[in-house]
Amino acid sequence: MNFQEQIGSILTVDLNVLAKNFAYLKKRLASNAVCSAVVKSNAYGLGLEKVVIRLLTEGCNSFFVSVMDEAIELRGYLKQQDKDADIYLLNGLPKGIEKDLTEYEITPVLNSITEIEFWAAYGKRNLNKFKAIINIDTGMSRLGLDTREMHYLLKNPELTNHIDLTYLMSHLACADDKENRKNEQQRRLFEEYRLKLLPKKSSLANSAGIFLGKEYHYDLVRPGAAIYGLQPIINEINKIHQVINLKAKIIKTMTVDQGKSVGYGATYKASRQSRLATVALGYGDGYFRTLGNRGHGYIGNKKVSVVGRVSMDLVTFDVTDVSEKDSGAGAMIEIIGPQYTVDNLAADAGTIGYEILTSLGERYFRKYVG
């Protein structure tokens, strides 16, 4: 018996929907562009192994992760499936891992002149040219060669003589806002550098960047959020569908009189005689504490509200307007679903869907469809 399935919360990941999202993104691309997948942070919390195996069947053969442990884990899954694919390491080249990168066939994204020099020196020592992406900062001010480093590289192109430069890339800062002028400013600066460096191929667009137009697509796009069901553009609904469903089981109901307080700090007082349902869910599962007195759920088509603070393992909902038959112990409250999406919940929590997905805890009973 799985006790968490019996008394806790159930997280369903629909890999068929994930595949449809990936296919939808591919259809929007310029004819020469390849669609990769960003699978960092355990595939945005949904499970690296399951997600990657499904994406492989959908024709995805290049993946981006953040750290070396993720890259090695991913390579292991690919070998188990007897599949080959490109793995790119976004967070750069820590000195000393060059041999590991080549052993596991992982391509680093080089974010500084120092990293370029390390990687070129390693190639020279081994009489080889190893693959790499060079990342340029065009306005994110986070990773990538800054303006001074780019000028240095342009004056010293021999720095890349011992590197197999597969892509030149940059990252858009405001792509979720189509009207933001920074998008075009970044694209133009990227284009200027691209024409000077003449790499084999180029990559600029993330999930949102795909929707800015084909001039942003270049040779490779790097969607993450949109694959996992998050809407990529502010105030625009695209054919991206919800990948997960989260339901929490009611473990106790009680009736409280008007004026009775609920939860830690007595932050909520019942405005009427109320029926309350306590579910096995809390901030220990990634259900944010900020959802206290703000979050919602659904029982059938009935909206039910969080009352009181969110605890580590428990949340209380007001189910007064739902029949006792449908809201007794053992009944389920839909926490994330078609009526209340990840993006909806994130808005109520004062955050973004990315944080909700990557915070999904390990205590859920997980079901995978497809």
The residues annotated as belonging to the active site are 40, 264
Cα gap 241→14, rounded to integer Å: 10
Token pair 């053969």 is found at 61
Q: What are phi and psi of 246, to 5 degrees?
A: -125, 125
Cα gap 87→84, rounded to integer Å: 9
Q: What tokens does 205 get?
A: 């667009």
Please give the full DSSP string across 307-321, using - where no structure is assigned. Answer: -S---SSEEEEE-TT
Torsion sign over Cα 232, 236, 241, 245: positive
CA distances from 29 to 59, 75, 215, 272 (A): 15, 27, 10, 55
Q: How many CB atoms lie within 10 A of CB 350?
A: 11
Q: How many CB atoms lie within 10 A of CB 369?
A: 12
For residue 63, the cross-strand partners are: 37, 87
Length of the chain: 370
* Helices (H) then strands (E): counts for the chain: 12, 19
CA distances from 150 to 107, 113, 178, 366 (A): 21, 8, 27, 46
For the CA atoms of 4, 10, 16, 20, what is the dihedral angle to 10 degrees? -140
For residue 227, the cross-strand partners are: none
**H/E run at residue 65:** strand 62-65
